[in-house]
Amino acid sequence: GGVAGGLTSSFTTLKVLKPETKMKVLGLSPLKLSKIGRVITNMQNSDFKFTDEEVDMVVKALYVTQKDDDFKEAFDMLDTKLNQFAQGGLKAEQFKLVLPLVGEKIEEEKIDAMFAEVDSDGSGVIELSEFQDLMMRMNPVEESSGFSPSSLPGAGLVSGGFSAMGE
């Protein structure tokens, strides 16, 4: 079990992703990988019946490309699903449902304060730009220089064959 077991289950989990997304994901830090594993598992187990393509869309936007058009595609899809096919942004109750789908573990009592902070225009709804802003803060782009996950204790176990892939 332990780290290796966790990685094995991540690999099994990742098979829903498109090959090009998977290649890029494998180059990310163990922390991001575990979040991506949560995204996939939570989306697959949710009542919203996400397809593999929709799972890929979210992982790609949040963790791989972080491009505006990918964010828009993922946000529109989540918005549509959570609003029973009527888009209009995420209200507080949908925001609570979205957080685990995007890999975040936030305590219930902190979610309302977070919603108020993210809802910068005070509309009571999280729009695309506010969602993207939040996701970029929660998943900052990993720079190849500077901080390296291999400096974490125990990271040697994980980083072995990882960094060569996806470079």
Per-residue pLDDT tens over the stretch 112-132: 999 999 999 999 999 999 999
Band the pLDDT of 8: cuts 50, 70, 90: low
Angle at 93 between CA 91 and CA 97, to 5 degrees: 110
Q: What is the pLDDT of residue 19?
A: 95
At 21, list the tokens.
Answer: 């997304």
Output the pTM of the full model.
0.77
pLDDT band (50, 70, 90) for residue 149? very low
Confidence label for 147 from pLDDT (cuts 50, 70 and 90): very low
State the average pLDDT over residues 56-71. 96
